[in-house]
Amino acid sequence: MSDEISPITNAANLLLMQHSIYAMTKDPSAITALQKTLENILPDLLFRPSDENILRFHDFDNVFEHGDAEKMIVALESTYPSMMKLNPILIVELHAALRRTNLGDTLPYRDLVAFLIWGHRRAVAGWAPEKFDEVVTATINDIDIYNEIQTITASKTTSKLVDGEADLTTFVRGLRVALGELIQYLKAQHQAIREQHGGIGRHESIEDLMTKIGNCVDKTALKMLVQQVLAIHAAQFTMANSGGITYAEKMVALIDEALASGYGSGE
């Protein structure tokens, strides 16, 4: 597999960086950059599968096994009852071709079904890997062309929000998805930092702890005291981090309340 960072990982890192820049500087241009990034990644995030058995197909760092394909087929048939009969062996070979060609991360979430249908009509299980690579390359290219055409024909106004509340609701729903991803990331980071540095012992103050370090002559004890300093700094960081989590959760709650009230539905 390629060492390149996937588009979704790169976008997540960019969002986090831009949010951090704004939090530190309060510079309006940082918000403008953040909004631009959201506009670029939200359309496909809206189609991110909620079923882990379908989402697993988009993991191109690991081999997609026959059992994975069977579980995905069950999930897809439940979601799309009229979908054609899928072959788990063929799905495994298509996934392997996406990994070999490093094209996996270019397959949008929303186009998975189209990719599978085209793959089943263009390839046969048991073909040589080279033939699968050709099929996958051609299919990804066709999907790109189709999406480009869709973008052109859908661009009937100069503003993405001109068409009214429906478009704004789509944006708000996408914003909620992005906030949810950010909350999960911050919580995971919060937990990882705490686990890395451990708990904080009982000390009168930070000055008391520094005095203990200054008077310490035992190497093992000194190491433990220094670790306490790191734990305190980690705790301070996670407290600030938790403030961001709380704020994001409040925003999600407000969005949910607005959507539940029928905002943007024309009611």
User: Mind giving me the DSSP string for 210-224?
Assistant: HHHHHH---HHHHHH
Residue at 267 is within a domain: no
Residue at 38 is within a domain: yes
Let me know whether 90 and 34 are in one domain. no
Residue at 266 is within a domain: no
d(CA 267, CA 161): 19
Residue at 10 is within a domain: yes
Q: How many domains does the chain have?
A: 3
Decide which of 26, 46, 66 is a domain's last residue: 46
Residue at 117 is within a domain: yes
Query: DSSP letters along 238-263, please?
Result: HHHHHHHHHHHHHHHHHHHHHHHTTT
Let me know whether 95 and 80 are in one domain. yes
Let me know whether 90 and 150 are in one domain. yes
Residue at 89 is within a domain: yes
Q: Given this model, what pLDDT does residue 212 score?
A: 62
Give the domain range for residue 56.
51-154
d(CA 134, CA 188): 40
Let me know whether 88 and 109 are in one domain. yes
Residue at 235 is within a domain: yes
Those residues with Cβ within 8 angstroms of residue 113's Cβ, 6 or more apart along the chain or in another chain: 76, 80, 83
Let me know whether 99 and 174 are in one domain. no
Residue at 160 is within a domain: no
Q: What is the pTM of this model?
A: 0.48
How do the pLDDT tens digits run along the chain, 267 residues long? 444 445 556 666 666 776 777 777 777 777 777 776 666 655 566 678 888 999 999 999 999 999 999 999 999 999 888 999 999 999 999 999 999 999 998 898 889 999 999 999 999 999 999 999 999 999 999 999 988 888 787 665 545 444 555 556 777 777 788 777 777 776 776 666 555 545 545 544 556 656 666 666 566 766 665 665 556 555 555 555 566 677 777 877 777 777 776 654 444
Let me know whether 200 and 147 are in one domain. no
Let me know whether 236 and 171 are in one domain. yes
